[in-house]
Amino acid sequence: MSHGWFVTGTDTGIGKTFVAELMLEGLKAAGRAAVGMKPVASGCYESGTGLRSDDAERLLAAGSVSAPYATINPYAFLEPVAPHIAAQQMGCGIEIDVIQSCFTRLAGQGAVVVEGVGGWRVPIGGGRTVADIAAALDLPVVLVVGVRLGCINHALLTAEAIAADGRALVGWVANIVAPDTARLSENIAALESRIRAPRLATIPHHPPLAARAALARTLVAALTRA
């Protein structure tokens, strides 16, 4: 098995963190050492020990390996804006070699589930994008599709970009963010027939807590077959 996976999405706010949590919980339930990583996060909050990301803290809690927060989330920005803008406002740059170093330390402890920021083409500064982080870490990619009106175009364009960048898309997750979407099953079928990677799971809108463990097991089982 690889050192982990890179979780990207069709947009921001479509469930990347939740899917990454499920992956970590499923790995933990299977007895695997696993840890989450959020290399870059904007919209963080002030804490007594510096800026913190809610997403990164959720990933840290979901894993089975403890690690320093700064290793989990080396770049935390206050403003809830695109990371290259947030970095400019704080007078710093996002260095991929720093992210690689943190990832290497985490990978020495177990499988690493790395959550990107925004979507695949979100800029991080210096002409680079989130895609460059995934390439530097050399991880297979899991695509989270926020299922709602317009998701087919977003999903297919993202899958094409991942392939064009030479990354392995090992699967995608249908996350139902808008349950009132017309022709929901037809939309998922359209995605399934066009994305050249397996659908790993379908996550219902606000799944009950009791279903969470089963979802996590299903997702990890599908990943290990992919």
Count the helix, strand and coil residues of the chain and give each as a percent rounded to the nearest 5: 40, 20, 35
Dist CA 1 CA 10 (whole Å): 26
Closest CA to 67 of 26, 94, 38: 38
- The C-alpha atoms of residue 86 and residue 69 are separated, in whole angstroms, by 20
Contact 144, 219 (CB under 8 A): no
* Catalytic, out of 28, 38, 52, 167: 38
Output the CA–CA distances (angstroms, integers) from residue 194 to 126, 140, 154, in the order listed. 33, 19, 12
Active site annotation includes 28: no
Q: How far apart are CA 195 and CA 156, in angstroms?
A: 7
Q: Would you please indicate which residues are annotated as catalytic (active-site) residues?
A: 38
